[in-house]
Amino acid sequence: MSQEPKYPVSQTYSVLDGYDIYRSNNLIVALVVVQSQYGRDLRLYRWIRKKDQWKVDLCRMGVGKWKWDEIAAKAKEFVEKYNLKGGQSAPEETG
């Protein structure tokens, strides 16, 4: 039995590294560094499990040029402003 890849990207990419933003049995949201014939890219992915297979769901885009310091600062601001630090979270999504 072959092991499932941690990040099920297209065969046109090789995964160099990745970071799970969120992972459950049915959903993965991750930043993934990929290599292709065009070079390296930082991409944002969202996969959903359907019938025991991971499928890209809504999101697969290059994000290497995003202003990450600003994004992190804004996320931190929202967490504090709206008191999002606790045990409340959105329900787990299912297929």
User: Cα 93 from chain centroid?
Assistant: 14
Cα distance between residue 94 and residue 85, in whole Å: 24
pLDDT tens digits for range 10-48: 999 999 999 999 999 999 999 999 999 988 988 999 999
Cα distance between residue 76 and residue 84, in whole Å: 10
Please enumerate in sequence order all residues whose Cβ is within 8 A of that of 22, keeping only pairs 6 or more positions apart, or say none: 28, 29
pLDDT band at 2 (very low <50, low <70, confident <90, very high): low
Backbone angles phi, psi at 36, to 5 degrees: -135, -175
Q: What is the pTM of this model?
A: 0.72
Write the single-letter amino acid at 60. R
